[in-house]
Amino acid sequence: MIKRNLAKFNQTMGFQIANSNKQKVKPFSGPENDGTNGSVIGRLLSPPDVAADYDSWLVKQPSALNSFDSIMKAAKGKKIVVFLDYDGTLSPIVEDPDKAFMSVEMRAAVREVAKYFPTSIISGRSPDKVKEFVQLNNVDYAGSHGLDIMVPSRAVKSSDKKGNEGAFQPAKSFLPAIQEISMVLEDKIREIQGARIEDNKFCISVHYRQVPSEEHEILKEKVKSLVENRQDFRLTEGKMVLEVRPSIEWNKGSALSYLLDTLGFSTAKDVLPLYIGDDQTDEDAFKYVIDR
């Protein structure tokens, strides 16, 4: 039953990638090719443009979507804990971020996987927005790249003093400054056609997928100029999105670690974390899983 439901999820992920012209599969790293302790990561990133380079790359690091048997071998006798990105992983990359809906098939697959394995979604969006998209109550949610975590209902440990009304928010003290930056940004980019700001509470996302290409650099400079003199904040870039975040030592890898600990798995030797993501911010989670 467990293998069948993971297979269903694997099949659905393949369906997701096949139907998105924005994504291609990048290497799978697991115990067979990275020398780690058995953790599994799945990258769904844009491969090199040159087909020959990609083919060579793929030989050394086989696709996660095509390595299901290897994953099952690594999972034998272990407790699987699943962590997922949202945009580009559970949903396609779309022009309008408010329309990044997941398919019925994907929702059903995630629901089934979560019946058998603790499952969390770690997104750059606010957890409320992600939960509105996913519409599942049997998964846990972390937003703002892990800066806003809904404390799991199955938690065996309570959040520390930084928790607030069922949420763990290590950057809560930054909220006033974040709101100020958001208002200034609105004014600075108002005249750039297609630019839009998404308030993710602890992360300000500036989307420019609909901005004319000749204005991309202009937009980036405007955002950069606002952040560069604010030492408490940093600017990161994803797929056609700029993100302003507090400069604290906390990321998706930290969120994954927190969730494992809260769920009581941090010191367990028989746990296999499985993380699937598609963007640069997911690298922090991949690194944590590999180094764990």
The rounded mean pLDDT for the chain is: 83
Q: Is the pLDDT score of 215 beyond 70?
A: yes
Q: Is the pLDDT score of 157 beyond 60?
A: yes
**Active-site pick, 53, 55, 69, 85:** 85
Rounded to 5 degrees, φ, ψ at 271 are: -105, 135
Q: Quote the tokens at residue 282.
A: 């997911």
Evaluate the CA torsion angle 167, 257, 145, 203 in order and state its sign. positive
**What is the structure's pLDDT at 82?**
95
Give the tens place of pLDDT for each residue, 235-246: 999 889 999 999
pTM of the model: 0.80
Question: Which residues in 172-197 are b (16+ Cβ under 10 Å) and which e?
Answer: bebeeebeebbeebeebbeebeebbb
Q: What DSSP assignment string belongs to 46-73?
A: ---SSHHHHHHHHHHS-BGGG-HHHHHH
Average pLDDT over residues 262-282: 89
Axis crossing angle, helix 175-188 with helix 216-227, rounded to the nearest 10: 150
Give the tens place of pLDDT for each residue, 64-98: 777 778 888 888 889 999 999 999 999 998 889 99
Binned at pLDDT 50, 70 and 90, residue 151 comes out as confident
Task: Decide if 85 is catalytic.
Answer: yes
Share of the chain above pLDDT 70, in %: 76
